[in-house]
């Protein structure tokens, strides 16, 4: 696939996130009903409408979808896919319900088992993270749809993401709604083995992965259930700055379009300090 084709697809993904964000903000500003799925996770009208808007916008590209809000597509069909979208139309539904602003729209474009680019958009702050290839990731503000003609100008105003190595503090990103005993044990391990001041940044959604890509946090350990659509877009962005999301079972990067869409425990990191935290954690398990 050519660079121009990928750019057009990226613009399509950015615009679909923006359109879904408009609906999310409208619902977010009012009272809304909450349903519960079979796994007891919450579902709102914003989840469902966002999914419809994103798929309708991306449909023109004629690639299949792997989305949280759709019924599971049989793996015998999915395993034949080459290029496809991975979508979480509202990542952080619990945060959306709590109205703490920490939710995002995640859209990734993938080829076979690897993500190519990702878009993570926060409708409340208008901040958007994205990568355009395997070595360039950006953060910007998205206040309107864009097109191919003004994309270069949009890119000029964006901040290029580079991992920044802090001189003293260690910052660990952690889930706000899913902080468990295993995560706390890791935090305690780091605090007891490093002289640096250790700060915890609790926040919802894939924004945590983007903060690692931005260098605001050095790592994000996740000991608990997530799915492919929770990590795909963030992983593409993190990879573009040299960071990684490691599956703690295989000790390899997370692969996509698997038979089971559930992720195992993982460790996201960037930079020299992030990699050292990861390696020290692995050593502690021996």
Same domain (yes/no): 149, 244? no
User: pLDDT tens digit string along 200-248?
Assistant: 999 999 999 999 999 999 999 999 999 999 999 999 999 999 999 999 9
If asked whether residues 53 and 189 sit together in one domain, one would say no
Q: Which of 102, 134, 160 is the last residue of a domain?
A: 160
The total number of residues written for the chain in this structure:
286
Q: What is the mean pLDDT of residues 59-79?
A: 90
First vs last C-alpha separation in the chain: 43
Strand intervals (E) in 52-196: 65-67, 83-91, 104-111, 114-121, 127-131, 137-141, 159-160, 170-175
pLDDT tens readout for residues 9-57? 999 999 999 999 999 999 999 999 999 988 788 999 999 999 999 999 9
CATH number of the domain within which 279 lies: 3.40.190.80
Residues 187 and 238 in one domain: yes
Rg of the chain taking only CA atoms, in angstroms: 18
Among residues 160, 191, 222, the one where a domain terminates is 160
User: Is residue 27 domain-shared with residue 66, that is, in the same domain?
Assistant: yes
Is pLDDT at 199 greater than 80 in this prediction?
yes
What percentage of the chain reaches a pLDDT higher than 70? 98
pLDDT of 175 above 70: yes
Burial (0-12, 13-18, 19+ Cβ within 10 Å), 24:
buried
Closest CA to 55 of 206, 47, 236: 47
Mean pLDDT of the chain: 94
Domain count across the chain: 2
Report pTM. Answer: 0.96
pLDDT at 72: 78
| Domain of residue 119, CATH code | 3.30.540.10
Residue 165 lies in a domain: no
**Domain shared by 235 and 143, yes or no:** no
Which domain does 220 fall in, by range?
170-284
């Amino acid at each position: 696939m050519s660079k121009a084709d990928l750019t057009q697809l990226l613009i399509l993904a950015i615009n679909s996130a923006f359109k879904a964000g408009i609906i999310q903000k409208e619902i977010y500003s009012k009272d809304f009903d909450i349903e519960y799925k079979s796994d007891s996770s919450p579902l709102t009208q914003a989840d469902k409408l966002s999914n419809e808007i994103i798929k309708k916008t991306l449909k023109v590209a004629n690639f299949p979808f792997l989305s949280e809000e759709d019924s599971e597509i049989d793996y015998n069909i999915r395993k034949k896919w080459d290029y496809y979208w991975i979508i979480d139309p509202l990542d952080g539904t619990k945060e959306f319900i709590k109205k703490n602003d920490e939710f995002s729209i995640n859209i990734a474009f993938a080829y076979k088992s690897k993500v190519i680019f990702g878009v993570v958009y926060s409708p409340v702050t208008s901040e958007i993270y994205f990568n355009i290839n395997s070595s360039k990731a950006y953060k910007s503000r998205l206040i309107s749809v864009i097109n191919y003609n003004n994309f270069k100008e949009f890119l000029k105003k964006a901040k290029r993401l580079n991992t920044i190595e802090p001189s003293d503090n260690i910052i660990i990103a952690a889930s706000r709604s899913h902080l468990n005993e295993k995560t706390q044990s890791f935090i305690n391990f780091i605090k007891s083995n490093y002289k640096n001041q250790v700060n915890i940044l609790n926040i919802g959604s894939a924004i945590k992965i983007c903060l690692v890509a931005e260098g605001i946090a050095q790592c994000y350990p996740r000991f608990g259930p997530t799915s492919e659509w929770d990590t795909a877009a963030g992983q593409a962005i993190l990879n573009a700055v040299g960071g990684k999301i490691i599956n703690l079972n295989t000790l390899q990067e997370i692969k996509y379009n698997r038979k089971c869409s559930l992720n195992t425990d993982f460790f996201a990191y960037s930079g020299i300090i992030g990699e050292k935290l990861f390696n020290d954690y692995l050593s502690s398990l021996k």
